[in-house]
Structure formats: C-alpha cells, structure tokens
Amino acid sequence: TQLLEQSPQFLSIQEGENLTVYCNSSSVFSSLQWYRQEPGEGPVLLVTVVTGGEVKKLKRLTFQFGDARKDSSLHITAAQPGDTGLYLCAAPSTNAGKSTFGDGTTLTVKP
Amino acid sequence: GAGVSQSPRYKVAKRGQDVALRCDPISGHVSLFWYQQALGQGPEFLTYFQNEAQLDKSGLPSDRFFAERPEGSVSTLKIQRTQQEDSAVYLCASRLTYSGANVLTFGAGSRLTVL
C-alpha cells in the first residue's frame, strides 16, 4: 500500500507569509502530483514531479521532489487569500489504474 | 463537454434508501474513476473503468455499492440501503487514455448526506 502522509494537517497564516507543506512516504514513486481543492469543487492538478531532486515553479509555488523519490514539498511565497484550499499530494498509477491520495493540508490565508 | 459533470450536486437520503449518482466525463475520455471523500480527508479510490469495462472495483466498501458505465461514457454509482457512514462527497474523474501519465480531471462532486 502506498501510504502518503501529509503535514501539517491544518495551517492558518496571514497574507504575505511564506509556508511549506510536506508529503512523505516510505515507498519510492516514479512521480508525485500536487492538487489543490477549493470548497465545493474537485481537486485540480497543479504539477507533476518526475525526477529525484526536481524543482518546479508555478508563480509563487515551488514544488520539490526528494532525491530518493519518497517525499515532496510545496513552498508558497507571500501567500494570498486566493491560495486558501486543500492541498493534496497523489501518487499516480504506474500503469493504467488508480491514483492514491494523501489526506491533504488545509490552508487558510487570512487577509 | 468541457469538463466532468456530476449530478446531483447535493443529495439527502433517509437511511435505507437507494441513491444513484451520475457522472458525465469529458467526451472521448477512456478512463473513468470514482472516489469517495470524507470531510477533511483526501479522496479514497472506489472503482475504475476503461471504456465500459470495470477493471478495478477493489475500493467499493461493500456489496451495497455498484457502479456501471454501459456504453463507455456516462457512469452511474449506485448505493443501496444507504447508511449514515455513506455520507461523503463522491468524486468522479476522467482521463484521456489509460496511461497514468495523463491528467486526471475531476468533477465538482456529489455530496451525499444520509439521515
């Protein structure tokens, strides 16, 4: 079973602060994905990281895949209220099957 | 359509009633997934279709849960004799091909409340 542990479970910060959330596992993955889910909506894919040590940037969001491909982090610079949501990491299928999700980090950015 | 459409968005059922949740995937998408999401948790896999074939139903929690996709497009998730523990958001997602490398696109979900 590919168990993905995300931390922290909840995070509440002020606008303008920086933050990092984590996704850890004892398993090695061929890739990991990060999704953001807003209330009342389905998850939306933000990024896929594939190579160990890879860093990808999406505006103020920086995603890193661990060297051993067992963990990943998401760093947000100068958070804004629009960043509020549930951030999920997921291990996509290696073949044709399911993706497995962590329980997510609920981020609240206060204006 | 432009996205994955789910209906109804909200469903309240009395314990013991049967419910049916519908998913219209993106046109032409081969793969279709159902997930269950409890409040404050990540989506949990229920079942997976490739065209009309149900290739994996290992996540269905009991024989009260049944899913079908008879023509390889629209899918229905049916829950018989609903219980309070079935209360959750049911998410449908579709993917262009069978390949896990392709993007999974989710619908907005159907929120089921069992009283």
pLDDT at residue B100 greater than cutoff 70: no
Whole-angstrom distance, CA of residue A90 vs CA of residue A68: 16
**Contact between chains at A95 and B100 (C-beta distance less than 8 A):** yes
Please state whether beta strands B19-24 and B5-7 pair in parallel, antiparallel, or not at all (unpaired): antiparallel
Cβ contact, residue pair B45, A95, below 8 Å: no
What residues of chain A lie within 8 A of the CB of B50, using their CB?
A: 96
CA distance to partner chain B, nearest, from residue A73 (Å): 17
| Of the candidates B37, B100, B86, the residue with the CA atom closest to the CA atom of residue A42 | B37
pLDDT band, very low/low/confident/very high, at B103 (cuts 50, 70, 90):
confident
Residue of A84, A43, A109 lying closest to B33 (CA atoms): A43
Contacts of A99 in chain B (CB under 8 A): 33, 45, 100, 104
State mean pLDDT over A93-97: 68
Cβ neighbours of A93 in B, within 8 Å: 100
- Which token pair is B17? 């009633």
The span from the CA of A9 to the CA of B76, in Å, is 32
A 27-46 near B (Cβ less than 8 A): 40-45
Which pLDDT tens digit goes with each residue over A38-94?
Answer: 999 999 999 999 999 999 999 999 999 999 999 999 999 999 999 999 999 999 876
Helices (H), ranges, A6-106: none
Distance from CA of A23 to the nearest CA of B (A): 13
Do the Cβ atoms of A92 and B56 come within 8 Å?
no
Instruction: Work out the angle at residue B64's Cα, subtended by the Cα atoms of residues B60 and B69, and round it to the nearest 5 degrees.
Output: 65
Which of A41, A96, A102 lies nearest to residue B42, judging by beta carbons?
A: A102
| pLDDT over 60 (residue A1) | no
Kind of pairing between the strands at A19-24 and A5-7:
antiparallel
Nearest to B98 among A4, A6, A96 (CB): A96
d(CA B18, CA B16): 7
* Cβ contacts of A95 on chain B, cutoff 8 Å: 98, 100
**How large is the greatest C-alpha to C-alpha distance in chain A, in angstroms?**
43
User: How far is Cα B99 from Cα B96, in angstroms, rounded to an integer?
Assistant: 8
Q: What is the DSSP letter of A70?
A: S
* β-pair partners for B110: B90
CATH class of this structure's domain A5-110 = mainly beta
Most confident region among A28-32, A74-78, A94-98 by mean pLDDT: A74-78
Q: Please say if the pLDDT value at position A9 is more than 90.
A: yes
Any idea how long chain A is? 111
For chain A, give me the number of helices (H) and strands (E)?
0, 11
Question: pLDDT class for A3, splitting at 50, 70, 90?
Answer: confident
pLDDT, residue B101, reads: 64
Domains of chain B (ranges; CATH) run 5-114 (2.60.40.10)
Best residue of B9, B45, B104 to probe chain A, by most A CBs closer than 10 Å: B104
pLDDT tens for B3-60 read 999 999 999 999 999 999 999 999 999 999 999 999 989 999 999 999 999 999 999 9
The whole-angstrom separation of Cα A34 and Cα A91 is 9
Is the model more confident about A29 or about B79?
Answer: B79
Token pair belonging to A70: 């067992």
